[in-house]
Structure 1
């Protein structure tokens, strides 16, 4: 039985900030894997981060670890034949989510993206968050380096995440029966508690769980009595969420939003600012993060509830993409996340007030803001009619070069890295 959506206790949750912390832990976990590694990601680039992941996966596969890698065909469109072939040659199963055909050089499968970022190692350790495998998640990338978060998880919730990723591949993969047998043969391990956190994996898909993440947010906002802090890269949520944030602020909850001040896509900030008047007038505090692009998808409410994951609060994440967030109830983790967010607001953000808007807001812009605000009532149902409801997974092509190398490895050759293959 699918146990995604059930809160389980006895977990340990660790916060990982930016690529410096996340990549170190993930690559170490892959290098120490004994049986199995499953990775889902939206973006995987062939830069220094992608090549480091490639090397870690190859090394583990050569030790006999079963490795499944699923990437999104829109987010990772340019992986070279050598890169994929170097993985396939050592037995890594690489799958592309909905790899659409290019028309006039342009990829058109923008909708229904596989936006999750999940890693499960040996069914015992999991990572969930918003960090992709690309160098722009490292500070040395420069002014455009992204600020982002993930969590490392130990405990019973890992079994829940493990079953989810196995089912995700089995449902989208019409191929080998061995994988479906593997799913049946992989019951959740019976592990005792390792910490104090209650946790649950909540996902969004285009079948049975179209609004689960948003509903979890709404329930927590309605229950909040002390504070709400939401740090979100792409903020353009539905009408219900805006309404509940306004209601929370009016009943005395300290509601704070941390949004992009230096966006990677200017339209993101333009859309969010259309909502500022409605939120500020209700008492919501808005902070724009100005150091570099904000890519976070985290939130905390009161002293216990938190979430970290891949889901933005925008039309793509709430109505189209495949997403995954971990929700946790743990005072210590909540306090840690609050301290990180408070530091961000104090040192790296500019607080926006009504006066800041009045200086540059014409009458026409206020009218436009009104219509955009009420448009939010309807867009989720409209977007639900868009195509690509059912996910498709396609095995990545094994190149002729990789096939020859695989035969040599069967005779004792250890293969080559992508650089060597080139």
Structure 2
């Protein structure tokens, strides 16, 4: 993507599954021409089954429906679930399925971690929320805190082009891409609001660090306030350095991290950075209500971002990710109010007095950690650079769950 500011958009913040899922399912039910979904996780729980029914109904009334799931994030979809979609006309694709070894999934690296939906080329949803029941409160204490946005306006044209191009790269070709784009939606969406938006992606070819660059630029230019709420926090040296510099020049820098993590290693890794950040003046809040899954941030009074990208090695150096960056005072204010409420009512602020005393081992570990953070983007490049496979499942799907053909994404 060109990463350009596009004006004239409406951006609506959706918090958790209670706001996100009703809006998404309503959009699918009212779709007239096309529904395209990319998601890391799709489970066969109550949310997945409702999506299944909505997509089937849309396809049966003539809507073109494309669904892409990640092979690592969505490994256990049954043959019946897939066949129920493909037999209705839904095109289902699995990104890099991989094979299990002794019951373990080994295809960990370079995942399709995006969460995007585009309806009729005129409405788009981007964020961190997967299609699974653990994003709604009645899931229990492990229900996740998360965010997404609904967009309307000219930026949707760019997002629409992006998802269609992803399908074309999977084997349909550029001729198909151009025909589908002409048939699916108007060439340009009319202005729908006042927000300027950039659609920013990360891949392993031309856009390897675009999302991180936007974070660093926002932190570097901030003069008053930065708030980052991120589930998996272990960023590179340059991001850490920009946060520390901002705090030292008087910017109110706040991090909201996991206090009740879904994986203990997440909190352990992040806490290794606490000394460096706190002693530079960065304020750290741990969200203790339930697992934090959000990937959002704001700077000063205009800049905000919402998306799928964590601030960890997988998201910043390996996965396929998508964020929207928003320049709009009203949206920034709403995001600020939501995050302030989160810090005030559901977080515990970490103080320097809460940290254990420095020791010789801690100093040694800190030294190696900082050099790891400084160089890991180069090191992860040594990992296998395979071309991830996109497997289309055509109806009727084989009983063994295999794909009828394989394309390269």
Query: 2:257 aligns to what SS in structure 1?
Result: strand
Query: 1:358 aligns to what SS in structure 2?
Result: coil
Q: CA shift at 1:193, angstroms?
A: 1.5
Query: Which residue does 1:211 correspond to in 2?
Result: 209
Structure 2 residue 365 is matched with structure 1 residue 368:
yes
Structure 2 gaps, min length 5? 400-409
Structure 2 residue 277 is matched with structure 1 residue 279:
yes
Query: Which residue does 1:393 correspond to in 2?
Result: 390
For 2:222 and 2:126, locate their aligned partners in 1 and report how far apart those are by CA, in whole Å. 24
CA RMSD of aligned residues (A): 1.7
Residues 212-231 of structure 1: pairs in structure 2 closer than 5 A: 212-231=210-229
Query: Which residue does 2:113 correspond to in 1?
Result: 115
Query: Which residue does 1:383 correspond to in 2?
Result: 380
Count of residue pairs the alignment pairs up: 399
TM-score (ref. length: structure 2) = 0.94
Query: Which residue does 2:140 correspond to in 1?
Result: 142
Instruction: Give deviations 1:77-98, integer Å, cap 9, x for gaps.
Output: 0000000000000110000001
For 1:202 and 1:364, locate their aligned partners in 2 and report how far apart those are by CA, in whole Å. 40
CA contact (8 A) 2:122 2:189 kept: no
Instruction: Give deviations 1:248-278, integer Å, cap 9, x for gaps.
Output: 0000000000000000000010000110000
Aligned pair partner of 1:21 in 19, 22, 25: 19
For 2:397 and 2:304, locate their aligned partners in 1 and report how far apart those are by CA, in whole Å. 48
Instruction: Give deviations 1:309-346, integer Å, cap 9, x for gaps.
Output: 00000000000000000000000000000000000000
TM-score (ref. length: structure 1) = 0.91
Aligned pair partner of 2:169 in 165, 168, 171: 171
Query: 1:74 aligns to what SS in structure 2?
Result: coil
Q: CA shift at 1:189, angstroms?
A: 2.5
Residues 349-368 of structure 1: pairs in structure 2 closer than 5 A: 349-358=347-356, 362-368=359-365
Change (3 A) 1:132 1:105: same
Query: Which residue does 1:312 correspond to in 2?
Result: 310
Q: CA shift at 1:399, angstroms?
A: 4.6
Structure 1 gaps, min length 5? 403-422
CA contact (8 A) 1:287 1:352 kept: yes
For 2:175 and 2:87, locate their aligned partners in 1 and report how far apart those are by CA, in whole Å. 21
Instruction: Give deviations 1:165-193, integer Å, cap 9, x for gaps.
Output: 01111112368974564246567623331
Q: CA shift at 1:362, angstroms?
A: 4.5
Q: CA shift at 1:101, angstroms?
A: 1.7
